[in-house]
Amino acid sequence: GDFAKVDLHRRVRCGFPEVVFGQGKTAAQIEAIFRKLLEHGQGGLVTRIGPEVAAHLKAAFPEGEHNVAGRTFRVVGPDGVEPKVGRVVIVTAGTSDLPVAEEARVTAEAWNCEVSLIADVGVAGLHRLLHQLPRLGDADCLVVVAGMEGALPSVVGGLVACPVIAVPTSIGYGAHFHGLAALLGMLNSCASNVVVVNIDAGFNGGHIAGLIARR
């Protein structure tokens, strides 16, 4: 349609097909974009969709997978069956950060990385994190997802040698200001291997981690 100019060259230019930002798009619009991508031999991944849009896409592309918590839908393209390359480990501070972590997981998997998830190891109970040190040390790239004070990336960053992608979440209340507290914390991290993406941006976290881990 006229409403979208699908960036079919992106896979060539950037190594990864365009991913559809589902928020504010109709199911029909997303279906049309997916058809165009598939026609050109590229897989489709859409983020930030609700259950109705997911149901529509599942009907249109029965082979696709819906990640309920992560609010994504993915159709693996002809190019999607390579061997796995690179290890991404996703870590969350609390249980409530899981939806953002799932969005990151699906995205990193779309890069054909080996992805694993460690949940609920926030800094107020440090032993929980220290138990996971071996798994952290194995990663090619870490994604650390945290709300509240967003301190986990700094602590993790000081324990590992690989890059840490910090994803602030909007989990918190009051002076959290919908993720601002966690975001600022992460931007001011005293650990120098920490970089930051937008609040709740599981997609960006998983994407860049996959890109780095594959190198």
Ligand X SMILES: Nc1ncnc2c1ncn2[C@@H]1O[C@H](COP(=O)(O)O)[C@@H](O)[C@H]1O
Which residues here bind Mg ion, judged by CB under 5 A? 94, 120
145 DSSP β-pair partners: 92, 167
Q: Which parts of 181-200 interact with its own copies (CB under 8 A)?
A: 181-200
Within 10 Å of residue 48's Cβ, how many Cβ atoms? 18
Site string for its own copies, 16-55 (x = CB under 8 A): x-xx-x-xxx---x------------------x-------
Q: How far is the CB of 83 from ligand X (least distance, A)?
A: 25
Nearer to its own copies, 24 or 62 (CB): 24
Q: Which two tokens stand for residue 114?
A: 């080996």
Radius of gyration (C-alpha) of the chain in whole angstroms: 17
Task: Return the residue of 49, 94, 105, 112 that touches its own copies, per CB under 8 A.
Answer: 94
**Cα→Cα distances 180→19, 47, 91, 172, 199, Å:** 26, 22, 20, 10, 8
CA distance 26 to 23: 9
Find the shortest distance in angstroms from Cβ 34 to its own copies: 14
Binding site for ligand X (CB under 6 A): 18-21, 47-48, 94-96, 120, 124, 190, 192, 201, 203-204
